[in-house]
Amino acid sequence: MDLFILRHGQAEPQKTTDEVRELTAKGREDTKRIIAGRLAELQSITQVWASPLVRAQQTAVIATSYFPALEIRTSELIIPEASPAAAINWLQSIDQQNLSILLVSHQPFVGELVNKLCGKSSGYYPMGTSSLAAIRTSVVAVDMGELLWLDHA
């Protein structure tokens, strides 16, 4: 499986609740630049999954604007406080289809997921806003992923 993990773009400060924070203009531009810079590598994407939070959904819309045939699917398994172990179990359950998946999510989830899949300690691979990581794994499990690249805005 090829797994692309994208942290949402820069978001506005919290006004009411965290769930409704929107992307800033900088967040939109950074996301466009990161996606555009890796278009060749992202051509294999077969599914796009995003957290239900507004800023992740907006980031996913930007990403799928480059891939209009793909729809955005939403999962609670990739919200900021989600368990990377639960997400790995979920990814294992859909891996039989040899998918190439783009996950659009948040910290601390994205950082923990990248580090666990690649067998690194917490915080080893930083994931700032609009960071995009590519991981290849033949078996979706802790310590089984190979980080191919990690781009930052």
The β-bridge partners of 28 are: none
C-alpha to C-alpha distance for 25 and 44, rounded to whole angstroms: 28
Instruction: List all residues 6 or more positions away from 115 whose beta carbon is below 8 Å from its beta carbon.
Output: 121, 122, 123, 124, 125
Q: 């990814």: which residue's tokens? A: 91
Model confidence at 15, pLDDT cuts 50, 70, 90, reads: confident
Residue numbers of the domain that contains 60: 2-9+19-151
* Amino acid 22: pLDDT: 97
Helix (H) or strand (E) holding 117: helix 109-117
Phi, psi of 144 (to 5 degrees): -105, -5
In a domain, 14, yes or no: no
Q: What confidence tens digit (pLDDT) does each residue in 102-131 have?
A: 999 999 999 999 999 999 999 999 999 999
CATH for 39: 3.40.50.1240
Count: domains in the chain? 1
